[in-house]
Amino acid sequence: MNYFTVDVLTPEKVVAKDVPAESLLIPTVRGQINILPHHTHLINRLSTGVLSIFGGADDPDRHFSVTYGICKVLEDKVIIMSHTSEESHEISVERAQEALEAALSRLNSGDALSDEEVEKYRRKVERAQLRVQLAQQS
Determine phi and psi for 69, rounding to 5 degrees. Answer: 140, -150
CA dist 86 and 88 (Å) reads 6
**56, 38 contact by CB (below 8 A):** no
Can you give the residue ranges of every domain in the chain? 4-88, 92-137
Q: Would the pLDDT of 92 be above 70?
A: yes
| Residue pLDDT, tens place only, 50-86 | 999 998 788 889 999 999 999 999 988 999 999 999 9
pTM of structure: 0.85
Q: Would the pLDDT of 22 be above 90?
A: yes
The CATH number of the structural domain formed by 4-88 is 2.60.15.10
